[in-house]
Amino acid sequence: MTDLPARRLLLVHAHPDDESINNGATMARYAAEGALVTLVTCTLGEEGEVIPPELAHLAPDRDDTLGPHRAGELAAAMAALGVTDHRFLGGAGRYRDSGMMGAPQNDRPAAFWQAGLDEAAAHLVAVIREVRPQVLIAYDPNGGYGHPDHIQAHRVAMRGAELAAQADFRPDLGASFAIGKIYWNCNPRSVVEEGFARLRAAGRAFPGVASVDDVPGVVPDAEVTASITVRAEHAAAKSAAMRAHATQIAVDGPFFALSNDLGQPLFATEHYRLVHGVRGAADGEREDDLFAGVAGTSGSTATAGSARNEEAAT
């Protein structure tokens, strides 16, 4: 524990690729600044649709080997982002991709959608108590767009944060730890609309164009509390990480498409809503650092020594 970096960021995602699409630039920035960036992915994404025809045999109705393949894609994406701590909730293959809402795969006993909440959250509690993150990034209660695994990932993240702070919950999983700030992923409506205008002006990069309603977590601009801007190299790392998820994402410059072939803007600036903790920016202003206001973490040169002081003081 004493060897932990001063700043520690935890992200909880449903499938390999969600982290790069939602938070790739943020992850690259904080990893480069020396923060510990820990990614917990809840399923292997076994039920995803496969884009490259030559990999179609991986699909669940054929070889059913998409899960291990996507674990490899995730490892490559993390290398692109400079993130070394990535784990699967309960270990790889513990929970299976539940498929889209209403699909028969929702009802499989191994599906993440069927997981007992506290049982699944306990796996996250162990991670939280080990890495003691000051900041957690999760989905909103709708999971951004209603996918059962994203909704469940939201529930597990919030419940895990709650249980990790309770000293009498599973003391065998480590000393209790309270996460200081919790953010939900979001996209400000004006930015998404502007992105689609750019995409339409750029011409036909993809067979079709998605709509604002296809983008997860679109909220009124006023609800956004943090906008994380990054250097060009971190934006490039996000693009490279998305390309590493080749079964799921086709990237073309500042745009990308999922398996529906509908183009979307690729955002280098990522946005968040603070839902727990104290905002580190003046009223009416957005934070530009998720650790803003967290004691002992100012600047990228903060040391483990100051982290110990902070922990001793709380």
Using DSSP's 3-state secondary structure scheme, residue 5 falls into coil
Give the shortest CB-147-to-Zn ion separation in angstroms.
Answer: 6
Is 86 annotated to bind ligand? no
Q: Is 15 in the site for Zn ion (CB under 5 A)?
A: yes
Query: Which of 8, 18, 36, 244: binder of Zn ion (CB under 5 A)?
Result: 18
Nearest to Zn ion of 146, 171 (CB atom): 146
By CB under 5 A, the count of residues binding Zn ion is 3
Handedness of CA 95, 98, 104, 107 (dihedral sign): positive
Is 150 annotated to bind ligand? yes
Give the shortest CB-18-to-Zn ion separation in angstroms.
Answer: 4
The pairing of strands 36-41 and 8-13 is parallel
Give the shortest CB-125-to-Zn ion separation in angstroms.
Answer: 23
Please spell the DSSP secondary structure of 74-111, one letter per residue: HHHHHHHHT--EEEETTSTTSSB---STT-GGGGSTTB
Give the shortest CB-287-to-Zn ion separation in angstroms.
Answer: 26
Helix boundaries (H) for the chain: 18-32, 66-81, 117-131, 148-164, 189-202, 232-244, 304-313
Nearest to Zn ion of 70, 129 (CB atom): 70
Q: What is d(CA 55, CA 250) in angstroms, rounded to the nearest whole number?
A: 14
Nearest to Zn ion of 18, 289 (CB atom): 18
Is 15 annotated to bind ligand? yes
Give the shortest CB-16-to-Zn ion separation in angstroms.
Answer: 8
Query: Which of 6, 9, 12, 14: binder of Zn ion (CB under 5 A)?
Result: 14
303's CB contacts (< 8 A; 6+ apart) are 6
Nearest to Zn ion of 77, 294 (CB atom): 77
Instruction: Specify whether the CB–CB gap between 307 and 5 falls below 8 A.
Output: yes
Nearest to Zn ion of 14, 122 (CB atom): 14
224's CB contacts (< 8 A; 6+ apart) are 186, 188, 271, 272, 273, 286
Binding-site annotation: residue ranges: 15, 18, 150
Interacting residues toward Zn ion by CB under 5 A: 14-15, 18
Extract the annotated binding site for Zn(2+). 15, 18, 150
